[in-house]
Structure 1
Amino acid sequence: MITILHLYPRELGINGDVGNVMALLKRAEWRGLDARVLDHEVGAELPQTADLVHIGSGPASGQELVLDDLRRIAPRLREWSASGVPFVAIAAGWQLLGRTFQRADGNIVEGAGVFPTDSRASTKRIVREVWTEDAAGFENHGSVTTSDDPGFAWPVARFGGSLATNLHGPFLPMNPAYADELLSAAAARSGQALGAGEERVALVDERAARSRDAIRARLRL
């Protein structure tokens, strides 16, 4: 059984990021893996273990609501990450799981330290569609993220088996290869392997490719 932990779905999920968790759950099912999703809410205890962790995006007010609780569970999250548990973090959730993030008022807030990144608020908000050979989607954020880690890249940063991005849309249904990558890493932790999958996997992947192509066409790339 693969346990997918969804951090703060109420506060951090305003850009359809719950679709990432749905994609992980369905693709696990289609590829022959038993999987379950556990939501972590403010004040709750973490499960003993998790095989994959997701955190979505949200406004500054949502970050503020979960910040104290995140600091409480941060040591366990870092332990999981160090042991190879894959994380996927989107935008504001990425900021929270980084080392620090600087708010618009200039105050620097300590993050959970799962990702070797630092973010700061920007005076310019970025709202646009994105297409590259590696990923496509929509970004809507007002921050700049930096890192001295060689895994840092745009638009998807890789740190070991974990991923972080500012792309919404949601990200994983639009870019299902990343979902399979995360599931493969999670499955390996329990001695399982990702199966070839049902016929619908190919159908869904084709539709995702068409969506990415549509973004590319709109951007005239």
Structure 2
Amino acid sequence: MTLTIATLLPSLQNTNGDAENAAVLAQRATWAGLDARVVAVESRDDLPDHVDAVVIGSGTDAALEAARTRLLELHDELRRWGTEGVPILAVGTGWELLSWGIELPDGTNIEGLGILPGRAVPHREGRITGDLVVAERGSRELLVGFENHARAYVGAEGSPLGRVRSGQGNAQGSGQEGVVMGEVIGTHLHGPVLAKNPVLADRMLRAMAERAGLDYSPGEQTLVVDGYADDARRAHLAAAGVDTESVVASSVVAPSSANEA
């Protein structure tokens, strides 16, 4: 069986390389001895017969309307995938488009697809950029990445991805980052996040494999690459002034699942 990872609208939603999270999943699956492929889905016509995971990257505000129009064609599939437990990772504006809606500075609103709770509203303090460190909810894992967003995310305080250790996250002073509903994750973490945080990638892969009746265990090459990721993470944490002793090595599986995040 071939695991299929769909990356949605990569021509519009890949400003920070976040669409490449799909390639991270596929490569790690291959290193584990599993067959995997990435399918770029620009419209409904590109949909494969079966999907095991979905990635939606971040795009520019100029592309919001076009991206929303195309995602609306996939609304029924996105809702079904979320209900069935298909892992979905949405980053930046890709996440905002799955929310209740996006409020723009001129007061106009873009209606979201309503897959995830909450909505995006303009930051009073302006654009937030910088390193972001998050203590994942339900585990000791610290997630790292770069945040670059002009909007706060409100209305989903009960289901964050984690607590902010350095940076701003969903809103200045909120102390929270991201949102999780079942196997659907929304986050501001750019990087791509799965390359910088292999534990999160492996958690998605285990969920994919379990649904497909397969076993997933990181391959030998994966452990080599994860050593490089750990070095990069430790440098990131040191630069952010976060205690590196609290880091869980990316080659060790954290005890929680995405459902517990």
TM-score normalized with structure 1 length: 0.92
Counterpart selection for 2:181 from 159, 163, 187: 159
CA 1:49–1:176: 2 relative to 1, 3 Å: same
Q: How does 1:61-80 map to 2 (within 5 A)?
A: 61-80=62-81
Shift of the alpha carbon at 1:156?
A: 4.2
Aligned residue identity for 1:69: R
Counterpart selection for 1:213 from 230, 234, 249: 234
Partner of 1:198: 219
Name the CA distance, whole Å, in 1 between partners of 2:7 and 2:53.
9
CA 1:66–1:44: 2 relative to 1, 3 Å: farther
Counterpart selection for 1:184 from 184, 199, 206: 206
CA 1:194–1:15: 2 relative to 1, 3 Å: same
1:93 maps to 2:94: yes
Partner of 1:129: 131
Shift of the alpha carbon at 1:146?
A: 1.9
The answer on whether the counterparts of 1:116 and 1:149 sit within 8 Å (CA) in structure 2 is: no
Shift of the alpha carbon at 1:89?
A: 0.5
SS in 2 for 1:135: strand
1:30 maps to 2:31: yes
The answer on whether the counterparts of 2:44 and 2:73 sit within 8 Å (CA) in structure 1 is: no
The answer on whether the counterparts of 1:130 and 1:215 sit within 8 Å (CA) in structure 2 is: no
Aligned residue identity for 2:15: I
Name the CA distance, whole Å, in 2 between partners of 1:205 and 1:157.
25
Higher relative CO (Cα under 8 Å, sequence separation at least 6) belongs to 1
TM-score normalized with structure 2 length: 0.79
The answer on whether the counterparts of 2:156 and 2:179 sit within 8 Å (CA) in structure 1 is: no
Partner of 1:140: 148
Shift of the alpha carbon at 1:130?
A: 1.4
**Identity percentage over the alignment?**
35
Aligned residue identity for 2:214: Q
The answer on whether the counterparts of 2:25 and 2:205 sit within 8 Å (CA) in structure 1 is: yes
1:175 maps to 2:197: yes
SS in 2 for 1:47: coil
What is the aligned residue count?
Answer: 220
Ranges of 4+ aligned residues in structure 1 off by more than 6 Å: none
Name the CA distance, whole Å, in 2 between partners of 1:155 and 1:210.
23
Aligned residue identity for 2:133: W
Partner of 1:106: 107
RMSD: 1.7
Aligned residue identity for 2:197: N
The answer on whether the counterparts of 1:156 and 1:165 sit within 8 Å (CA) in structure 2 is: yes
Q: How does 1:33-52 map to 2 (within 5 A)?
A: 33-42=34-43, 44-52=45-53
Q: Extract unaligned runs of 5+ from structure 2.
A: 136-141, 162-175, 243-261
Name the CA distance, whole Å, in 1 between partners of 2:241 and 2:196.
19
SS in 1 for 2:213: coil
SS in 1 for 2:128: strand
